Each structure stands twice: as C-alpha cells, then as structure tokens.
Amino acid sequence: MHRMPSQIELYEELSLLSARMVEAARASDWESLIVLEQAIAALRTTLTTTPDENGVPISDPVRKHSLIQRILDDDAEVRRHTEPWVERLRLLLGGGQPPWEQRRAAGESSETAAGN
C-alpha cells in the first residue's frame, strides 16, 4: 500500500522545487519556471489536504519553520527576477500602471480627499 507523505516531507519537496525555481528564474528559463510553479501548486493542494503529521504532533517544528522560511526566501528571489521581466512585458504590450501602483495611487487619492 502506498504511504501518504507527511507534511514535513511535502515541505521538503516544496523547498527543493522552490530552489529549482530560483535557478530557472536566474537563467530566465520561463518555461521551466512555469512547469515548476505548476508542480508546486499541486504540492500545495496536497499539503492542504494532508493532516499535520497524520494526526501525530510534528516531531521537528524547527525543521518545518526552517523549510517554510527557505521557501519564502526562494519565492522572494524568484520575484526579484520575474517582476522586472513582467514589467517590461507590460510596457511592451502597452499596459498602464501595474495593479499595485494603481492601488497605491487610489489609496493616496482617497486619503488626500478624506483629509480635505
């Protein structure tokens, strides 16, 4: 019978995949990045349906925390490589401000209006 992986094993796999995403982003290998993101999305879905250590308290919370932090750090690194590329693409396609700039501008406008 096939054993269901524990949460810590899933986090370890996520960490390996996120490290590969960093490598792909650094190499501007967008196709590999997409495939890796799809694999991570599938693992996240599995993780959300996997009980925490199959009902047993996690044996190494420090390891779990370390893996989650590494995954978050890798995600930030991937974003440092992809966001400039996405911005260039947006400009190439003739887009306006990025959504985060639109929200910031809208927030400043409503704050200014509320202060008057």
More confidently predicted of 52 and 116: 52
CB atoms closer than 10 angstroms to residue 44? 12
Q: What is the pTM of this model?
A: 0.69
Burial of 81 (0-12, 13-18, 19+ CB in 10 A): middle
Among the four given CATH numbers 3.40.50.2300, 1.20.58.1610, 1.20.58.380, 3.40.50.20, the one describing domain 7-111: 1.20.58.380
Helix 7-26 and helix 30-49, axial crossing angle in degrees, nearest 10: 170
Write the single-letter amino acid at 9: E
The 3-state secondary structure of 56-92 reads CCCCCHHHHHHHHHHHHHHHHHHHHHHHHHHHHHHHH
pLDDT tens digits along 20-61: 999 999 999 989 999 999 999 999 999 888 776 555 556 678
